[in-house]
Structure 1
Amino acid sequence: MSRVIVETATYDPVKLPVQIHMILDSLGGRDIIRSGSRVLLKPNLLAPAPPEKAILTHPLVVRAVARYALACGATVQISDSPAMGSIERVLKSSGIQDAISDLPVTVRAFSANRSIEVGEPFQRIEIAEDALDADVVINLPKLKTHGQMLLTLGVKNLFGCIVGYRKPEWHLRTGVDRERFAQLLVHIYRAVRPAITLLDGILAMEGEGPGTGGTPRALNVILASTDAIAVDHTVCQMLGLPSERLLTNRFAAQMGLADGLIEVQGDLPQVQDFCFPEMTPLVFGPRIFHGWMRKHLIQRPATASATCKLCGECWKYCPAKAISHDRHRVAFDYDRCIRCYCCLEICPHGALHAEEPRFGKIFRRVVDRLTATPRSATAACSMGPHSSPR
């Protein structure tokens, strides 16, 4: 049985470190982190963004965990593989650089990787050597929505252990198949196997996450466990989402990594009206119709011309090379687009969003009526920003 600790918290610079240290103690942190051990902290460092955008793990969380590991006598490294910008730029804009400036920690982006055997269906995956060689990996995800995978939590955060230039390759290899990508994520989790996962849900993100298109929402909660999958299950419970709707949960169970027995310690809030991104089927039915469906039925990235700065980040990163541009606008080749929504993640101006074609809306409404499927669990919604954490 896995245990998940739930703690009500805010970004109070005095109280939060005390709470995090007590959580880590309760999880057996002083037995897990031995004197002289090499500890790797893996926060979410997607792209340059300030804390109030709720895109990255908060600097106070990173600092508190780093101080705890140092107090245990460990050497501490903080690493990720940002999708946009150098890790130095990400740390500066996020406030993490200032938060850890007085701590003897090493900070560097993942660079070297090692190929490991993972079996079917991928055979081998190249994962950052730093993540594989650390004695202890502490996973520090941010609670956010995700246009492709619905939510990015503990398991999804470890995709950052794929060295930057390899990420687009894996998006392209898994293509439009969300289930195949979820399998990949679970294989990465099994290879890295973090000793502790502590999720920052104090200021979370809903709506069109996980980048600048999402909406910050104060949930004032931290969840932690020695089992990242149990954390992800518990977040689903908190948000009123059937656990199997998060595909990584489903494949973790199929791969024997989760038995479904979870003890929740603390008061788990029941979040009302959490705004999930729209999730439409990518392809289904006879293969001959797949091309037409991808173009006319399923959601796709689109740009808001008024806010697009033509900075080039989207078309440089696009794994499928489905984005072109001229002097005035960007354009999408929806036949090539694999719906990974990397462009939405990395757009620094919030100029990209996921839209549903007109035929797609009609089709979905018909299906919903025929199947009487309630949409509250995964429906998109139009909501203003919620209050910030105290």
Structure 2
Amino acid sequence: MADVDIRRAAYDDTLKTAIYTMLTAGGVGPIARGRVLIKPNLLLAAKPEQAVTTHPQVVRAVVQFVQDHGGRPVIADSPAVGSMSRIGRLGGYREALKDLDVPFQAFDTETIVDIGPPFREVPLARQALEADAVINLAKFKTHSQMTLTLGVKNTFGCVVGLKKPEWHMRAGLDKTLFARLIVQIHQAIAPAFTVIDGILGMDGDGPGKAGRPVPLGLLIGSRSAFAADHAVCDLIGMPPEGLPTLAAAEILGISHDPARITGDGPDRIAFRLPEAGTARFGPGWLQPLLRRHLLRRPVADVDKCRLCGECWQYCPADAIQCRDDRLRFDYNRCIRCYCCIEVCPHGALTSADPLPARLMRGLWPGKR
């Protein structure tokens, strides 16, 4: 078990002190003296106030900590959409890091790692595997498929480039299986410390631009991302077993209960989770009918959609097409991974129940 430090913070002159205090208390100083990979959440190009990515000032403070302890930091991730150059410019990283000598790059090489059954060989970023230490800088935000994307989920970004949707497709409709994949990848990366940037979080239909930025004023840190994620669940009043990655950790025998909570953070905060949905229920012969008419699914706001093509190019199930100047979804093929919502650069995609499901919920409001 590991301690979890929850402290109040802001993106101002006090942030550096808050980060240094957290990392020092977590014992990061002695391990920050070699090649240190700093892995933020750089999902796509977005402004800091949109709360899609780890805030550049958080990244800057961690880079400074590593450099002050004699380490050689490298910032890297594998964005779902767009180039690192555009993310650096629009996300404020270029400006925040301009006086620091630190590489800001995409993962570009991979090493095959046996993460154990049932997946076995998975290609992961060589830069992460060969670093002396990895510092995991996650974002406090929702995720339409996995409920929340926090510390454990952030290391899925160490799957390079378009290999990520391939693994979504291999897990298919089984959210439990995908959560296990995420957990086993996290164990292979083995970050030395995790910081979750919740100063400005995201609730609602995250993790992309369809989510709602919400000021939380918090940093959460721990040597265990599992413990940090558990503490976040407690903060928002969500049972930890309701987070798929923690449920998978439990099955794999990985401890996630915080040893103790330190810092000056609150006991509870208001936070709106995404609408819950399932990807499979009922007998197999009814699956096509049920999936089309009862299962929650991605939908497009035609006023926001620019037909840029990011969603249909990224879709692992090839379930999206552009016809007659609008998006068309094949809900029989759709695996409800919600990658399309995640990567949409315009916030045009959300998830919604089809009409029959809404009618059923109206008849039986207590059933979900």
TM-score range with shorter-chain normalisation? over 0.9
Alignment partners' CA distance in 2, 1:366 and 1:198: 44
AA matched with 2:346: H
For structure 2, which runs of at least 5 residues remain unmatched after alignment? none
- Of 185, 188, 192, the residue aligned with 1:195 is 192
1:269, CA displacement in angstroms?
A: 2.0
How many residues are matched? 368
* Cα distance per residue 1:36-64 (max 9 Å; x no partner): x1000000000000000000000100000
* 1:133 lines up with 2:139 in the alignment: no
AA matched with 2:160: V
- Of 275, 279, 284, the residue aligned with 1:282 is 279
Contact 1:240 1:270 in 2 (8 A): no
Alignment partners' CA distance in 2, 1:58 and 1:261: 25
1:105, CA displacement in angstroms?
A: 1.0
The residue that corresponds to 1:223 in the other structure is: 220
* Cα distance per residue 1:198-254 (max 9 Å; x no partner): 110000000000001000000000000100000000000001100000011111122
The residue that corresponds to 1:8 in the other structure is: 8
1:268, CA displacement in angstroms?
A: 3.5
Alignment partners' CA distance in 1, 2:365 and 2:340: 29
AA matched with 1:5: D
Q: Secondary structure at the match of 1:108?
A: strand
* 1:313 lines up with 2:310 in the alignment: yes
* 1:91 lines up with 2:88 in the alignment: yes
Q: Secondary structure at the match of 2:260?
A: strand
Give the direction of change, closer, same or farther, for the CA distance of 1:116–1:365 in structure 2 (3 Å limit). Answer: farther
* Cα distance per residue 1:277-309 (max 9 Å; x no partner): 111221123222222211111111111111111
Residues 316-327 of structure 1: pairs in structure 2 closer than 5 A: 316-327=313-324
TM-score when scaled to structure 1?
0.91
For structure 1, which runs of at least 5 residues remain unmatched after alignment? 374-390
Alignment partners' CA distance in 1, 2:295 and 2:56: 37
AA matched with 2:43: L
**Bigger mean CA offset, 321-330 vs 136-145:** 321-330
Q: Secondary structure at the match of 2:357?
A: helix
The residue that corresponds to 1:384 in the other structure is: none
AA matched with 1:219: L
Alignment partners' CA distance in 1, 2:270 and 2:18: 28
Give identity over the alignment, percent. 46
Contact 2:11 2:199 in 1 (8 A): yes
* 1:22 lines up with 2:21 in the alignment: yes
Alignment partners' CA distance in 2, 1:70 and 1:180: 39
* Cα distance per residue 1:127-149 (max 9 Å; x no partner): 11111111100000000000000
Contact 2:4 2:258 in 1 (8 A): no
Contact 2:278 2:295 in 1 (8 A): yes
Alignment partners' CA distance in 1, 2:359 and 2:2: 43
* 1:142 lines up with 2:160 in the alignment: no
The list of structure 1 runs, each at least 4 consecutive aligned residues, that deviate by more than 6 angstroms after superposition, is none
The residue that corresponds to 1:33 in the other structure is: 32
Contact 1:301 1:352 in 2 (8 A): yes
Alignment partners' CA distance in 1, 2:181 and 2:256: 20
**Bigger mean CA offset, 105-114 vs 178-187:** 105-114
* Cα distance per residue 1:100-145 (max 9 Å; x no partner): 1111111210111111112211121111111111110000000000
Q: Secondary structure at the match of 2:139?
A: coil
The residue that corresponds to 2:340 in the other structure is: 343
1:262, CA displacement in angstroms?
A: 2.5
The residue that corresponds to 1:184 in the other structure is: 181
1:365, CA displacement in angstroms?
A: 5.6
RMSD: 1.4
Give the direction of change, closer, same or farther, for the CA distance of 1:4–1:273 in structure 2 (3 Å limit). Answer: closer
The residue that corresponds to 1:387 in the other structure is: none
Alignment partners' CA distance in 2, 1:65 and 1:366: 52
Q: Secondary structure at the match of 2:106?
A: coil
Alignment partners' CA distance in 2, 1:119 and 1:348: 35
Q: Secondary structure at the match of 1:315?
A: helix
Q: Secondary structure at the match of 2:366?
A: helix
TM-score when scaled to structure 2?
0.97
**Bigger mean CA offset, 355-364 vs 293-302:** 355-364
Give the direction of change, closer, same or farther, for the CA distance of 1:331–1:247 in structure 2 (3 Å limit). Answer: same
Give the direction of change, closer, same or farther, for the CA distance of 1:259–1:326 in structure 2 (3 Å limit). Answer: closer
